[in-house]
Chains A and B, each alone.
Chain A
Amino acid sequence: MVGPLPMEEETYLELYLDQRAAQDDLTQPRSPLPSSIVPFDVFMPNSSTPETAFSSLLEEVEEASGDFSSVDLSFLSDELTQENKDPAVARSKHEIEESCKTPSQPLPSEQDAGPDLNSRLSNSHSHLHPGDADSVQPSLEKSTFLPLASITPMTPMTSVSECSGTVPQLQNVVSTANLACKLDLKKIALQARNAEYNPKRFAAVIMRIREPRTTALIFSSGKIVCTGARSEEQSRLAARKFARVIQKLGFPARFLDFKIQNLVGSCDVRFPIRLEGLVLTHQQFCSYEPELFPGLIYRMVNPRVVLLIFVSGKVVLTGAKERSEIYEAFKNIYPILKNFEKA
């Protein structure tokens, strides 16, 4: 029996505390955020086999996710206070992701549950965004003393589930929305600030706002394309702001069919990668023409994400419609890249 390692100790403690907090908070529908950590309860000995504990926890996650959708809708309200929430959400989300990542290492015996666990986790990640920032902070601070001996330590696996320690960051979100009314582009260009319109070059108004720093293409049909946001919420917020600008100019603009079209994430694995080896062994997925483009283009089928892999170790992921796809794609590619690490 291996004693708990000092480094992992505190992360386990954190998670255990979170789980405790989650169990307290789950009675209230407003804070399902910590429940995403709940799946890690598989390490808790209160169930006969980890498998059954896992499946029962999954149900809890499902329920929580169900509650989540009600929280999600409330986000739709046109409040400026959303701006204040966003950075907090991003921060807490990051913390949770960090702490979620590390325990994926010791998962040896649950090989079948392992990948399933991670994919479920990444699904629940997608519900994390409109989380309630306030409820997270206090729960993390709860310091109840709990025995760690109940956590069965496991030897970390080196081959299959290697933890990268880094999480892809979103760089760009492209979304579309429908304002559901015909627009007079010339009028908009004349009256609005930060708007460009050059009908000979392109049949749309290009408008920019500073917060969040985004650009929109506004078409006369009433459809808009919003680019440049750093997260899904920011993109939605920005699109709403553009809609409001149009509204204030006198058009009966509404806000319909908001849809994320593309997510771009980037990451650094922090070791150089030997691309020649990768292109040879994964020929059916890779294209690499260094004279044209210094990065290798990897077309992942499941999930459908395109990755640009560079020698330096930087990875760009694009083509995803959901954040979970980006995380999953990175999780899939990491062991492959590790294989071709250039010492």
Chain B
Amino acid sequence: MNNTAASPMSAAASSSGRSVGKSISFASELQIMMFSLGDARRPLHETAVLIEDVVHTQLINLLQQAAEVSRLRGARVISDEDLLFLMRKDKKKLRRLLKYMFFRDYKSKIVKGIDEDDLLEDKLSGSSNTNKRQKTAQDFLNSIDQTGELLAMFEDDEIDEVKQERMERAERQTRIMDSAQYAEFCESRQLSFYKKASKFRDWLDCSSMEIKPSVVAMEILAYLAYETVAQLVDLALLVRQDMVTKAGDPFSHAISATFIQYHNSAESPAACGVEAHSDAIQPCHIREAVRRYGHKIGPLSPFTSAYRRNGMAFLAC
């Protein structure tokens, strides 16, 4: 995996990505994000590296599939519609994505009304910008919707349980903080892949792709990356909770059995089985979470090949 004979181009352009041993790493940003999503004050670096790995792989796969869809359409750029198409199977996640896009539109509309300069900027740029994301999303879903359930999502006002759980967790976390800690927490919550857009593009190695994603598609990808991280943290926290052996729990030995299979030899089972002295999420939690997520449990699981084909279950869609 060494590229000593590589052309000078690859040295100059740091976007050779994973094959050279990532020169672009989001590990430190991920640590901040993990803290904002419910991890300890100082998340572990190894966990961040592992999460980065998982997110990167999934996003690359997603991009390739989207490029495929785009090519079938005969388009020259990957648009947000291609990504929506890929997500059509999972209604809850799709709904969350749509809500996010609408919020984006809504927020720009409001902020525009406040600042006079923004208002002029918007007028000058030939505004049909209001709700443009919402319009394209709605039009697209209209076109692919055959059973009417996708469009029903727009009127759907159900509570998003995952989001609810995240809000409650954040609320619990912030209640015990003092104002300095809280200020720090708020700042870390504001970090997103979208803020580091160019680094994000390079990380995904977009420039070497044939069909590149559009601006809105990049927004969605940044959102999906963030969602993946959030899902991983959610699941890892659940796994960690499971691992705490409760006294008198008849299945406690069974839990540690599944866990022992996956833990690193360096980490002692005791440290991971009982609540670790550092509250941070360990890589073993993440691995277990990914394993469980990809593992289809149920009577028909040996016959479902949908995810096996791709090798990894997508966390974001």
| Residue ranges of A at the interface with B (Cβ–Cβ < 8 Å) | 171-172, 174, 198, 201-202, 204, 206, 215, 217, 227-228, 262, 264, 272, 274-277, 279-280, 283, 287, 289-294, 297, 306, 308, 311, 316, 318-319, 342-343
Contact = CB atoms under 8 A, between A and B. Distances in A.
Contact of A272 (B125, B170, B179): B179
Contacts of A342: 177, 179, 182
B197 to A, nearest CB: 13
A19 B114 CA distance: 38
Interface in B32-49: 36
B44 to A, nearest CB: 22
A279 B167 contact: yes
A316 B110 CA distance: 11
A318 B107 CA distance: 12
B113 A318 contact: yes
A291 B113 contact: no
A343 B189 contact: no
Contacts of B177: 342
A274 B175 CA distance: 8
Contacts of A316: 114
A227 B119 contact: yes
Given A277-B175, A343-B178, A291 B189 contact: yes
Contact of A289 (B100, B175, B182): B100
Interface in B86-137: 100, 103-104, 106-107, 110-111, 113-116, 119-120, 123-126
Contacts of B156: none
B166 to A, nearest CB: 10
A305 to B, nearest CB: 11
B69 interface: no
Contacts of A204: 123
B171 interface: yes
Interface of B: 36, 100, 103-104, 106-107, 110-111, 113-116, 119-120, 123-126, 159, 167-168, 170-171, 173-175, 177-179, 182-183, 186, 189-192, 194-195, 226
B108 to A, nearest CB: 9
Given A289-B100, A291-B195, A292-B100, 15 more contacts: A172-B114, A227-B116, A272-B183, A274-B174, A280-B167, A283-B159, A287-B106, A289-B107, A290-B190, A292-B107, A293-B111, A294-B190, A319-B110, A342-B177, A343-B178
B113 A264 contact: yes
A289 B114 contact: no
Contact of A311 (B100, B107, B186, B194): B186
